[in-house]
Amino acid sequence: MSVQVTVTVGSIVLALILGSVLLAMVGVNPMEAYPSVGALMFFDQWGWQDLFLKMTPLLLTGLGVAIAAQLNLWNIGAEGQLYLGAIATTWLALEFSESLDAHFMLPILLIGTFVAGGMWAAIPAGLRSWFGVNEIITTLLLNYVAISLADYLLYGAWRDPSTLNFPMTRSFGESSYLPMIGSTTVHWGLPLGILLAVLTWILLRSTTIGFQIRVAGDNLSAADYSGFNTKNLLFIVLVLSGAVAALAGMTEVAGIHHRLQQNFSINYGYTGIIVSRLARNHPIGVIGTAFLLAVIFVGGELLQVEYQLPIAVVYLFEGLLLFTVIGSELFLSYRLRRRVAL
């Protein structure tokens, strides 16, 4: 465990160093930028609240990706699932939020979004389980389809005629707003994500289906020979994965914007892959790594404001971090090997 922590911290530091070189190339002094961004992020009220707000969708998409990874499936479609979740939430909120109060509205949003995300993920899941179609490609391509669907609705039927320039829906009724925790601006999406992470862990540890998933994840053909229905397992796991990732769309739309608008996701879905990978796909570990990636997001946002850098700086740091993390995995396996040899 301590080796893992050392290597992970080492790869984060390396990514920060490499990133600072690139920042220096666009004229930003990293020795000045890192401390000032850090101070704003952790010691300013706006900063730490934003950290928890950014952590929420990253936790949900990361958990979604991690669930699929239990069976060595790659869900690269969390971005599209998030969009679909947001579309489902928006539809429900526009339809019912003025007539229902929050006691009914919030469970409807939660269940509706979960089901919609699951149905969306059932497309690549079904294609994978029954036809053997590569899920990496299908989940990825469906991202573009979901984003186009959101654009179609935003420019068409759902567009609020009173906003002239930016295509967005009208505001939802207040009964569909996710409540805030205490007097902060952090909404209840974060505890929901943590709860789901714990539930996933319990499901994997202590239930029959969790046992089957773990066996099939270790060795799919062994699971086949043991008489588990691995096709069903693949299907269920990928559907669950998409359903959880879709909830990130709900927390963004119902928790923060209270309407659907363009570009509300800053690659939260793709970042979920890094969140999961960094936690080595452990459902509880995802809570910590989602926070880490939130640091990168808020840091990038602050660089945007303070130094007029484009949002791309976030993707740059994410890419670097993922590189250093996978590059460092070799050192972990070397440690294990040597212990086995002794």
In the beta sheet, which residues pair with residue 187? 180
Identified binder of other proteins from the candidate list 42, 144, 211, 225, rule CB under 8 A: 144
106 vs 274, beta carbon nearer other proteins: 274
Measured CA to CA, the distance from residue 308 to residue 302 in angstroms comes to: 9
Among 20, 138, 171, 261, binds other proteins (CB under 8 A): 138
Coil, helix or strand at residue 298: helix
| Angle, CA 164 vertex, CA 185 and CA 93 arms, to 5° | 45
Which 237-296 positions form the footprint of other proteins (CB under 8 A)? 267, 270, 273-274, 277
Query: C-beta of 5: minimal distance to other proteins in Å?
Result: 19
**Nearest residue to 78 via CA among 90, 61, 66:** 61
Q: Which is nearer to other proteins, 35 or 310 (CB)?
A: 310
Binding mask 3-32 for other proteins (x = CB under 8 A): -------------------x--xx------
Amino acid at 143: N
Residue type, 115: V
75-114: which residues touch other proteins (CB under 8 A)? Answer: 76
3-state SS, 175-217, equals HHCCCECCCCCCECHHHHHHHHHHHHHHHHHHCHHHHHHHHHH
The distance of closest approach from Cβ of residue 185 to other proteins in the complex, given in angstroms and rounded to an integer, is 28
User: Under a CB-based contact definition with an 8 Å cutoff, are residues 162 and 180 in contact?
Assistant: no
Contact letters for other proteins, residues 150-179 (x by CB under 8 A): -xx--xx-----------------------
31-39, 88-96, 100-108, 147-155 -> range binding other proteins (CB under 8 A): 147-155
Residues 6+ apart with CB under 8 A from 123: 138, 142
Q: How far is the CB of 39 from other proteins (least distance, A)?
A: 23
Between residues 49 and 138, which has the closer beta carbon with respect to other proteins?
Answer: 138
Count of residues of this chain found to bind other proteins when the rule CB under 8 A is applied: 49
C-alpha of 196 from chain center = 13
DSSP secondary-structure letter at 171?
P
Query: In terms of CB distance, is 176 or 281 closer to other proteins?
Result: 281
Q: Does 191 bind other proteins (CB under 8 A)?
A: no
Q: Give the one residue of 45, 131, 206, 208 binding other proteins; rule: CB under 8 A.
A: 131
Q: Using CA of residue 292, residue 297, residue 301, residue 306, what is the dihedral sign?
A: positive
* Smallest distance, other proteins to C-beta of residue 152, A: 4
Q: Which residues contact 258 (CB under 8 A, 6 or more apart)?
A: 171, 172, 176, 177
What whole-number distance in Å separates Cα of residue 161 and Cα of residue 173?
17
d(CA 314, CA 297): 6
Enumerate residues 291-320 that contact other proteins by CB under 8 A: 309-320
Q: Which is nearer to other proteins, 60 or 296 (CB)?
A: 296
**Chain positions contacting other proteins, by CB under 8 A:** 22, 25-26, 74, 76, 127, 131-134, 136-138, 140-142, 144-145, 148-149, 151-152, 155-156, 267, 270, 273-274, 277, 309-320, 322-323, 325-327, 329-330, 333
